[in-house]
Amino acid sequence: MILAQPEAYEVSALAKVWAQYRKVPLADGAIHARQCWGILAEGLDEAAAEELLSQLHSAQLQGTRISADRLVSPAPPQVIRRLEVKGDDLAAIISSIAREDIAVSDLSVVAAALFQETSTKKVQVEKGPTAGQKMLNAGILIATGIPFKLGGPKRVETKSESHSELSCYLDLCSVGGARRWRINGQSFDYSFLKERKTYSILSNFKQLVSDMVMRTPQALRNHGTRLLLTGGEMRLMGYTSLQDLDREISWLLTLASLPKG
């Protein structure tokens, strides 16, 4: 069962539906609503599917029943470093020697996501007595003749350091998900924006998303894209990793593949 309206993905409404459907506390319904990303439930029997459809209808929402084999899995993303305009289409610069043409009319999903991404690395730190401890050790040695090792011997220790930063990603997906291009907003070359380019990565990223939406009126927009375009609060994004974005894209590609009407 998938949500039939991309613009209707709203956590509080879906939380109430799921809580009533599963007869669980609203807090549990909210957890499911935040994590489902449009794919409401899988493996439902006839009676369960009808009950969920009824609950959605009561909340003025629409669901669509699909078989498991109709759920579209997007292709692995091809990361692009830079974009160039090529007539009405785009050229994706993959590396200094690799580029791919993107037919804008063939794009069916434009999906942006922002979330805090944490990286951990191992660093080596020298440990041992401080300057004050060294002076105290020397004083004790002079006064008593007994060597003293306050602070311990000089040594090298390995420890983990974590760093968290706001990451922003934009995926452009072709019809059926056969091709997917990904922009990492932290490392992307925004020269595509020309005179509109600023010193702010987030401002540049928002402008890039806006440009892609204007070029692809036929494409479905995900929750993150709509939030960016309407100036919504970043805390409402709800993404915790790229796996969330992948799941949401699978939902949108599936919607785009269904017969219209």
pLDDT in tens, 188-236: 999 999 999 999 999 999 999 999 999 999 999 999 999 999 998 888 8
- Going from N- to C-terminal start, the domains of the chain cover 2-68, 72-119+163-257, 121-160
Maximum pairwise Cα distance, the chain: 94
φ/ψ of residue 117, rounded to 5: -115, 125
Tell which residue, 40, 69, 9, has the closest CA to residue 237. Answer: 9
* 107-127/220-221 β-pairing: parallel
pLDDT at 218: 95
Q: pLDDT tens digits, residue range 160-178? A: 777 778 899 999 999 988 9
pLDDT at 140: 67
Model confidence band, residue 58 (pLDDT cutoffs 50, 70, 90): very high
CB atoms within 10 A of CB 212: 22
Quote the tokens at residue 63: 């669901």
- Order of strands, sheet of 99-102, starting from the edge strand that comes earlier in the sequence: 82-86, 89-93, 99-102
Give pTM, 2 decimals: 0.83
Mean pLDDT value across residues 181-194: 95
Across the strands, what pairs with 165? 117
Give 220's contacts (C-beta < 8 A, 6+ positions apart): 6, 108, 109, 110, 252, 255, 256
In angstroms, the CA 175 to CA 90 distance is: 16
pLDDT at 233: 87
233-238 long-range contacts, CB within 8 A, separation 24+: 234/114, 234/166, 237/113, 237/114, 237/115, 238/11, 238/34
Mean pLDDT value across residues 5-28: 93
* 99-102/89-93 β-pairing: antiparallel
Mean pLDDT value across residues 54-81: 94
State CA 74 to chain mean position distance. 15
pLDDT at 9: 87
φ/ψ of residue 77, rounded to 5: -75, 145
% of the chain beyond a pLDDT of 90:
70
**183 near 110, Cβ under 8 Å?**
no
C-alpha dist (Å) from residue 118 to 101, 115, 238? 33, 10, 16
State CA 105 to chain mean position distance. 24
The more confident residue out of 20 and 126 is 20
φ/ψ of residue 129, rounded to 5: -65, 140
**126 near 154, Cβ under 8 Å?**
yes
Between vectors from CA 99 to CA 96 and to CA 104, what angle results, nearest 5°? Answer: 145
